[in-house]
Structure 1
């Protein structure tokens, strides 16, 4: 049975102590096995970065004739970094942020300790880049960032300028800058890792990076992963500024970075308005996990997220679907208690699913996915080898509570907890290897030679 969320009014009137504290680290009673926090203490710190000499999209007059030179500026990007911390770390675990209205400041409670020391004498941890929606901010997915850090990841969550609750600006700036911001922050993480004075030197394995994006962040993840935009999409940017991400252009061909090994796109926006065609989606170069609600009216499901998943034919990819879920599936933190009085609780909640449970399911699947792709942990594959429909699984145990041979329920999920969920897998489509003419002259067919096939090569 799908978990039905309380109405906003009921939740506001009968807030639990957990909700009243604005906690981001909640665990539902039926949360799957990989959602609890890991063994590491967690630290968090802020970095104020500047990407110099960027095109200032906001300053362009879209109605003017093309100028001789586009306006430029030094683009500020604030990054919040969650990371494994020393076990004896102590300190405050609350942090302040703004709500969707861009005015109301709230305090959130988690487990990360501000400016905690990293663990001593450790190997570097894989990096995860995180991108919010439009609008959003670097704390919107803090529940996932903090959770991953406790499991041995460094997570760099970006405040995308012109896209936050406080500075929401021209939409074209988001379209042009999302992939550029993501790659700039990757370079900056490498710089900080090599800087003995940064406080995080030696902590970050930037050669082993994953990317998580929600909504417009998911759009950026698809483009950064190699999904070049269609000719139609270029018109969304003033003065042809979006042409740098056009499929087949020199600039976009050079965009995918070999340090980024995988990506997770949650409710990615853009396919429903034609930002990609089949050729562009086939350019995606890295395995991807997509997460969606089947009733997402912002990004679209059948004509949006699912079409991206189907179209990424060059790579292995999976799609986790919450039946009846909307655009807020998995990504946002539980609605802060103040959001109800401010009239913006709908930015965080789903009309069908409980947010904490959705967060937990997302934590579970992203943990398994990243552990496989970034840490090579093949033991996690059992959490992803699932029947497509969670409701089709059979729960069967003997008198001692041990699973029997006919038990087929989703591994790691308590009985009944996979109801209303779907997990589907598609493998990379591979083309036949071209055969020399001499082979055909000998009368040997492709079928007779067996599976002589090759996958689309990733960048080394």
Structure 2
């Protein structure tokens, strides 16, 4: 049987240029800003295919349900001044710098009740000539809720290529539970502005840290922002998928191997040395103590030797790793699971979707328009979002459940949520034993919050830090 590799996988597999010296398909010229490039077109959606990002199915685990807060959403832009300009450096300007803009989607607890049917998002698709409509629960520009503010901050970082809406289902869900959630459009790494891979390799952790800094400033009581006094950046969690996960690993203390900085395809002038495990400055200040918990979904790089044991030993942030056991982009045994095993100084979990590939859990359900063949990509964009084995909504619900437990425990100090993470390792091995009233019997060992039979195909491994750190709160 012949298999088809999606354009998304082609992009990331082409990133093996970091090791093999293959040229990436994209050049060093900066593409037009979003909305100024190729003419957009609209493809009629497939009849009967839903485009909602907020569906929680009847088989979803308990903590996948939306929370009690109405949700607001706003789009803002922050700019990092004088960032190194990797694209111009590739072209020969060794000292080039530029002001790097980052567009952000911000979800937050909103004031007032939400209407029954809400918010449309106009989203650039994997085929960048197509925009689609997605629907969720957030109200555009709604007034922010005070009440229990300030709320912990969560930062979401997409894959390559991607955009700030790729994990929008998770952004909405977590905001409804009392978080301010900020999802980044990583410049030069989006569907409509993807550039040389070296830019993503260099900028990803820097973008994540800069956004934390920028949101902390906007959250200051006198900032004049709608976030003023409403976000607690001292209690921050970070979520990254694929290249976003690559950034997360480095952001929380996983210093790069020194050799990674000079491999073919790496950023020019050995820029990765700035955040290598052997760099004393990185060891002192490469991360940010305000980040108290992390989630890395299919993080890219370990399979190509970007990290080694010495670098991973620098991670001390409690981390939930998420992977498909058949991930052919980031790898599993030599990829995400190797990262999980190597982060020996952190409390950590590894959630595995057995048989799933690189799209496990993270992407939104495939938009209806993605079912149509794309002449631009010469494939079906559907494969960028979907998994061959697993239903996307089911995976999204499971991810929301575990991410909620992880962040509630670490950022809100809700120790009761740890019970959702302390489970029989293989879901199929749990014993479901309830009486007619739903009270667990002594023999019951099924995954907490999961309905009978729904933990099959899932594995959750747990390891404690070798060098125990004080609790975050």
TM-score between both structures, scaled by the size of structure 1: 0.88
Q: Does 1:426 pair with 2:463? A: yes
Secondary structure of 2:63's match?
A: coil
Q: Does 1:410 align with 2:436?
A: no
Aligned with residue 229 of structure 1, among 256, 268, 278: 256
CA distances 1:203-249 after superposition (whole Å, capped 9, x unpaired): 10000000000000000000000000002211222111111111121
2:96 to 62, 65, 71: 71
Task: Report which stretch shifted further, 342-351 or 220-229.
Answer: 342-351
Q: How many residues align?
A: 419
Q: Does 1:103 align with 2:90?
A: no
Number of the residue aligned with 1:436: none
Task: Select which of 362, 384, 389 maps to 1:347.
Answer: 384
1:133 maps to what in 2?
A: 159
Per-residue deviation, residues 60-80 of structure 1 (Å, max 9, x unmatched): 237x6xx6x521110010011
User: What's the counterpart of residue 233 of structure 2?
Assistant: 206
Match of 2:350 in 1: 319
Alignment of 1:220 onto 2:250? no
Q: CA deviation at 1:29?
A: 1.9
- 1:391 corresponds to 2:428: yes
- 1:88 pairs, out of 113, 137, 154, with 113
What is the rounded CA distance, in whole Å, between the counterparts of 2:47 and 2:127 in structure 1? 24
CA contact (8 A) 1:285 1:458 kept: no
User: Quick check: 298-307 or 95-104, which moved more?
Assistant: 95-104
User: TM (normalized to structure 2)?
Assistant: 0.85
Give 2:299's aligned residue. 268
Check conservation: 2:45, 2:369, Cα contact below 8 A. no
Displacement of 1:48: 1.0
1:148 equivalent in structure 2: 174
Question: CA RMSD for the aligned pairs?
Answer: 2.0
User: Is 2:388 the partner of 1:366?
Assistant: no
Q: Which has the larger radius of gyration?
A: 1
Q: Which residue of 2 aligns with 1:286?
A: 317
- Mark the CA change 1:131 to 1:70 in structure 2 (over 3 Å): closer, same or farther: same
Aligned equivalents of 1:427, 1:198: Cα separation in 2:
40
Structure 1, unmatched stretches of 5+, are 1-11, 431-454
Q: Deviation per CA, 1:109-128, whole angstroms, max 9, x where unpaired? A: 00000000011343200000
TM-aligned CA deviation for residue 92 of structure 1? 4.9
Distance 1:241 1:400 in 2: 61
Structure 1 residue 245 corresponds to structure 2 residue 275: yes
Match of 1:301 in 2: 332
Which ranges of structure 2 fall in alignment gaps of 5 or more residues? 1-42, 375-379
> Aligned to 1:372, what secondary structure does the other structure show?
helix
Shift of 1:251: 3.5
Aligned to 1:8: none
Are the equivalent residues in 2 in contact too, given 1:89–1:116 (CA < 8 A)? no
Q: CA deviation at 1:271?
A: 0.2
Looking at structure 1, the residues matched to 436 and 129 of structure 2 have their Cα atoms a distance apart, in angstroms, of 57
Deviations 1:394-425 (A, max 9, x none): 11123444321101110100000000000000
